[in-house]
Amino acid sequence: MANLSESRFRRAFVATVTVLVVLVGGFVALTSQQGPKLSSAQIDVGGVVTKSNEQLRMFANQQVRPVTAAQVRITPSARFAVTTAGSVIAVQFANPLRYGTRYRVSVDGVASASDGQSSSITYEFSTESPTLYYLHRSGGSGPDQIMTTGIRQPSLRVAYSAPRIQAFAAFPHALAVVTLSASGHSSLNLIGSQGQVEHINLPGAGTVDQLQADEDSGILGFTFTDAGPTPKRAYSDTLFTVDPNGTAVPQPVKGLDGQPVSVLDWSFVPSSSEIVAQNIDESTILIDTAKANSVTPLGTFLELGAVAADGKSVVVVDVNGQLQLSLATGKTTRLSPALLHGATVMGAAAETLTTGWLQQESVYDKKIRGFVSHLVLNGAGQARELFHPVNPKGSIESFSVSPNSEYVAIETVPNVSTSVDDGYVVNGRSKSVTTNFVDIATGALVKSVTGFGVQW
Amino acid sequence: MVGVAGIVALFVVRGISSTWGGLALPNEAQDFLTLSISVIIESLPFVILGIVLSIAVQVWVPDTLFVRLLPKNRVLRRVAISLLGVLLPVCECGNVPLARGLIVKGLTVAESMTFLLAAPIVNPITIITTAQAFGWTNGILIARVAGGFLIANLIGWLFSRHANQPGLLTPRFAAECALPPSHEHGETRWGQSVELFVHEAGTILPALFLGAVAAGLVQVVVPRQVLVTLGSNPLWSILAMMVLAFIISVCSNVDAFFILPFATTFLPGSIVSFLVFGPLIDIKMLALMRTTFRVRVLVQLTIVVALASALVGLVVNFVS
């Protein structure tokens, strides 16, 4: 019986081992014919439409040999660089991608680091569409409203409302809102996504202006001028920053002499911890808020214009016209627009794009005996008109380009001759101010809203 | 006593050597002590817990409870036994004394083996730590749990073909199992529990000490870099990971975090092979299982588990 038992077990053991060996051998043969496969991928589909140099990281299931740019195809096309580290293939997009677009990234000939077996890896993703915010003033018929909408969607929603909203700035999950009291003093509040209100104490009674939010750092910036007669003011257009997630106490930004700076104009530099500011003496400086005493003089200019979406340059104006100032090197390049017939350029109303720049030009119209505003796309020695007000008596007040240079939001007053001011002592606007959204590639008007101060 | 003395000696030497200053031990010796002690520190609580659960099963659970509750069909019975780890979440070190207790309580050796191999993987702590480490990436979690379950039942089926179940056990343990229950007359349950604790600890702790020493020694002798360089080859990466699991003898409750840094270097299937093979067969486990099973049984067990673990890894590499 013992021998019978032994032999039954032995047969089962041998059969089990044999089957396992055959299966192991079969799968070894099958897997050795396979090249690398995509295990997972990471991309910030929101960040990739707002920032330069965002990465798609594709994780292969094994270490791979270095991939070259020639092996990578992106549809729709986009400028990129590719790096390989171990099992990770990182495709870095040079510029922000288009909104609401499905991208397909294919990498051909991805070879295993161990045995050279190759395969193709493909990953598809859809980018986010922007959530736009703008300020709609009631004109005295009720509270002012901060509206939210999409660029291609008709839906419209009130994100926040309050009496006498002077200005606002949008973070991804909060709004910074400045309201004006009856006495003309500003009040600054942070409004959470659930409507919770956090009051931020200002340096004193006074007015806030040029409010901006930096999405990357979560920091808020503004200029502050305290109340009272000019000679006795402690702060006059003094630049402050405040970290709502930190102490929430405004701190003055210090200039070359270590003293708080008073500015004519200023802006956060995208994708960095820097601020570019024009002092009241017209000297322009670059301040790194992440480092102590890191202030770089950039020169003296008549005006400071818009910072490019990639954060590499800013438009400035000297006596001869507009310049593109590199923030890295301080070098300037003259912007020589191919003007529309009879057009002139006034001020710093220009914003550089990935290729070319947008320019506001004015053409004298004899019929109305005044200038008609035009928004023109310049580049490669050519000019293409993107927008002009329907009514020749309308005017372009300002414009701002989306972070990915896909759209431009243009603030207009439809008819200057009949325009009525809203009466706000700070950041006042025409009651009829309208914002038009234009697709830069096609020149198509995709949306118009009544309001201003668009935050992309 | 030998086991306790050995373990205490390791701690004492490690403690004193750190204060010797210029007379400090060579790096290799310090590494050996640290690695051996880490295996003991990691395993000891589970060994003690396993012994306590074993005593609970042997002394406090009614004799016929398991026999009555488990299904009569042998396949379903093994399936149910392989899920016992959900109720008795002990890592593999603690399962050895518990499996011994189950044999004493009337389970066949094959059924006890099924529990022994399934419980370290099919238990909530291991599943949670693996999920935390890998999430759903590459199906590593699913493959580990399914692989452990299937291998345990395969082993259970295979050894159930052996008609002479006591013949799979060491003569000493087989004799203990054959003792009539009457030998316990005159003792209270507490008394029996204390006696069993001393007996089981005396059997298991020397094995744990020797297993930890062997694991520490091999890790010092075989550089890990040798294994890592093999990481991207579909076959060699699996073998390398199984050898690594065999050598380092890390417990199933924490092995997912140990191997997580290797996940960027090694193929997913090789990670699964590590997570399946390690809890079932490693230096420490073999030392512990030697207290219960014959050498020939352990060799057969190791061959089947190794092949099955490699197969699970290869399948994961193929489909993931």
More confident residue, A167 or A351: A167
CB atoms within 10 A of CB A382: 11
What is the model's pLDDT at position A433? 94
Interface test with A, best of B237, B318, B320 (most A CBs within 10 A): B318
Each residue's pLDDT tens digit, A310-358? 888 999 999 888 899 999 999 999 887 777 777 777 665 677 777 788 8
Percent of the residues in chain B that have a pLDDT greater than 70, as a whole number: 81
Cα B86 to the chain's mean position, in Å? 16
Top-ranked range on mean pLDDT: pick from A89-93, A355-359, B34-38:
A89-93
What is the model's pLDDT at position B156? 96
The CA-CA-CA angle for residues A258, A261, A265, to 5°, reads 145
Q: Where are the domains of chain B?
A: 2-319
More confident residue, B184 or B246: B246
A31 interfacial to chain B (CB closer than 8 Å): yes
B300 interfacial to chain A (CB closer than 8 Å): yes
Q: Which of residues 107-166 of B touch A (CB under 8 A)?
A: 137-138, 154, 158-159, 161-164
Let me know: does B275 contact B256? Beta carbons within 8 Å.
Answer: yes
Subunit contact B234:A21, Cβ cutoff 8 A = no
- pLDDT (average), residues A135-155: 90
Beta bridge partners of A430: A421
Subunit contact A61:B235, Cβ cutoff 8 A = no
What is the model's pLDDT at position B183? 47
| Packing angle, helices B189-221 and B236-248, rounded to 10 | 130
- Asked if residue B160 has pLDDT above 80, the reply is yes
Nearest partner of B273 among A27, A19, A58, A35, judged by Cα: A27
Each residue's pLDDT tens digit, B244-284? 889 878 778 778 877 876 776 778 899 999 999 999 999 88
Q: Which of A5, A31, A62 minimises the CB distance to B318?
A: A31
- Asked if residue B181 has pLDDT above 60, the reply is no
Subunit contact B163:A40, Cβ cutoff 8 A = no
A413, burial (CB in 10 Å: exposed 0-12, middle 13-18, buried 19+): buried
More confident residue, A393 or B183: A393
Subunit contact B265:A86, Cβ cutoff 8 A = yes
A20 interfacial to chain B (CB closer than 8 Å): yes
Interface test with A, best of B273, B298, B314 (most A CBs within 10 A): B314
Close Cβ partners of A429 (under 8 Å, ≥ 6 residues apart): A137, A397, A421, A422, A452
Subunit contact B161:A31, Cβ cutoff 8 A = no
Q: Which of A26-40, A211-225, A356-370 has the lowest mean pLDDT?
A: A356-370
Top-ranked range on mean pLDDT: pick from A47-51, A79-83, A232-236:
A79-83
- Asked if residue A449 has pLDDT above 60, the reply is yes
What is the model's pLDDT at position A345? 72
A86 interfacial to chain B (CB closer than 8 Å): yes
Each residue's pLDDT tens digit, B279-308? 999 988 899 899 899 999 999 999 999 999
Chain B contact set for A12 (CB, 8 A): 158, 161
DSSP secondary structure, A73-116, as one string: EEES---EEEEEETTEEEEEESSPPPTT-EEEEEEEEEEBTTT-
Max intra-chain CA distance, chain A: 119
Subunit contact A20:B236, Cβ cutoff 8 A = no
Measured between alpha carbons, how far is A148 from A174 in angstroms, rounded to an integer? 12
What is the model's pLDDT at position B23? 56
Subunit contact A31:B235, Cβ cutoff 8 A = yes
Average pLDDT, chain A: 90
- Asked if residue A111 has pLDDT above 90, the reply is yes
- Asked if residue B185 has pLDDT above 50, the reply is no
Measured between alpha carbons, how far is B58 from A218 in angstroms, rounded to an integer? 62
Q: Which of A4, A5, A86 minimises the CB distance to B264?
A: A86
Kindly indicate the confidence band of residue A250, based on its pLDDT and cuts at 50, 70 and 90. Answer: very high
- pLDDT (average), residues A421-429: 87
Measured between alpha carbons, how far is B47 from B94 in angstroms, rounded to an integer? 4
Kindly indicate the confidence band of residue A57, based on its pLDDT and cuts at 50, 70 and 90. Answer: very high
Q: Which of A124-138, A340-354, B83-97 has the lowest mean pLDDT?
A: A340-354
Task: Say which residue the tokens 């604790």 belong to.
Answer: B197
> Where in B85-144 does DSSP place strands (E)?
none
Measured between alpha carbons, how far is A446 from A369 in angstroms, rounded to an integer? 31
Task: Say which residue the tokens 């010092």 belong to.
Answer: B220
Each residue's pLDDT tens digit, B129-147? 888 888 888 889 999 999 9
What CA–CA distances, in Å, run from A118 to A34, A36, A63, A113, A259?
A: 7, 7, 12, 10, 61
Q: Which of A45-49, A290-294, A387-391, B177-181 has the lowest mean pLDDT?
A: B177-181
Measured between alpha carbons, how far is B135 from B44 in angstroms, rounded to an integer? 28
Q: Which of A31, A39, A63 minimises the CB distance to B231?
A: A63
- Asked if residue A109 has pLDDT above 90, the reply is yes
- Asked if residue B68 has pLDDT above 50, the reply is yes
Top-ranked range on mean pLDDT: pick from A245-254, B118-127, B228-237:
A245-254
- Asked if residue B73 has pLDDT above 50, the reply is yes
Q: Which of A104-108, A446-450, B199-203 has the lowest mean pLDDT?
A: B199-203
Per-residue exposure over A71-91, b if at least 16 CB sit within 10 Å of its own CB, e if not: bbebeeebebebebeebbbbb
